[in-house]
Structure 1
């Protein structure tokens, strides 16, 4: 669905992403892990057009053919079907939960220029928004303002916003960040659910979550891929243990 070749981003003398070759397959849940400063968020910014690469290429498969999106702006990558949630909360706080999703759905449709018209004028987007809210477990909160939600529910809303427009690829940047331990299970269930019909690239620091939900784990360190494979293989990789895991063992493992 999404692939890069030699993808590189330099900021002056700093190489944040260094020659990354990567491919995300259809319906695959791949976690991207690594220490702080490894280049994970920069990699997301490159994939979604927020940053332009210094070198290398990015391609996305749409309608059965590969399209070069190396220099595409964010709105084009989104329209092609690559959507993203953010590490920092990114919602309209004074709008209702329904309106947040409705606006996102409309922005991906044919009425993007009229996103702030009365919601009743766009029944199809309201229907889509309600279906998404049902999927992410927030339908009962449809008329609640976003600022009134718990942090965990806000994270669920952000995933809902990313689902608007039915993307092919979801990039989820630390969806569990700041979520209470009581709410982590809801977020895990939601990640696993959306991965049933989307390709998902997940950045997550909670290694128990990574090991539980991932089909595949890619490890970045100093902008380079140092491991790529099934979770159990990556966990036991000596280079990954040195760079990031530091003796981590999954809870409950023998």
Structure 2
């Protein structure tokens, strides 16, 4: 039978591991942060301890005759549903995948510590911490080079509006992969017929997105503008949101 001191040690290690990973998510204001990761990791550790040591088997041997893997597999499945709640879609961007993955892997670390697999749990923790703290900038640089972004514009229904927008983008080296336009509709707010234009674009890595959006926003005939699901306003452009480096 495992000692009480060993139980305390495993639960504390799980709490520390969950806190380290959760702290990084908390710094980036993610839906699941510091406390959530601690709870998931400690809970997974506790349930692993219960599944291994708390069921009497034949001849009074603790844990024998039971199937510890059954609870472990249920933990992974349950945590998968929890992580799915952090995933959001904004325009063409899917946000929250990293947080969902961190919740899932922190449950695995809790399982490892609960089973006494300290080496595997610790090495996994180190790898995850390095990935979250050190590789984010590398990921953003690669993403800017390969990924198409969504620019949505609502404009007055006037001749040449699409050509004006595409010229602004083309002059700055922005590659347009797809264009969608709605039918013209009359909006009371503007007392005019307007159309919506959605463009999927690839932006050069050195281009300042804030400056690009400023030019588009203040073009004659442009009424509304959103970038990757984020509505752009005069206040947004005045104070700036550093959209070049906005984390996904």
Q: TM-score, normalised by structure 1?
A: 0.20
Work out which of the two has the higher radius of gyration on C-alpha atoms and give 1 or 2: 2
Greater strand share, 1 or 2?
1
Greater helix share, 1 or 2?
2
Bigger relative contact order, structure 1 or 2 (CA pairs below 8 A, ≥6 apart): 1
